[in-house]
Amino acid sequence: MLSQLFQNDISTLGIGKISDLFGEEYLNKSIHTEGDENGMQILLDNYKSADFDFYFINLVDLDMLYGHREDAQGYVGVLPIRIKHLVILTSVDTK
């Protein structure tokens, strides 16, 4: 997917461990994070500036602490925080 975006001049920002997982070859920029809260803030800040066409984020804490451990209760417990950020993200006017 990243190679297709790159080949079609779609600028891509990797947030979190994206460059560790997929390499940096097809990313225009990569930013490592200090946890999920930081990652979501980086996403919001960059999305508001509309400098990229595609934003690829890995929420490491959510993934590592709850996903791989199959901790459904823990996963559900942090969803309100993610929903809060998604509500903010969807209300951003990038035009």
User: In degrees, to the nearest 5, what angle opens at C-alpha 7 toward C-alphas 14 and 46?
Assistant: 30
pLDDT tens-digit map of 4-39? 999 999 999 999 999 999 999 999 999 999 988 899
Q: What is the pLDDT of residue 95?
A: 63
- Mean pLDDT, the chain, rounded, equals 88
Whole-prediction pTM: 0.82
Instruction: Report the half-sphere exposure of 32 (CA within 13 A, side-chain side).
Output: 6
Radius of gyration of the chain (CA): 14
What residues contact 87, with CB distance under 8 A and at least 6 apart?
A: none
Distance CA 6, CA 86 (A): 26
Higher pLDDT, 35 or 69: 35
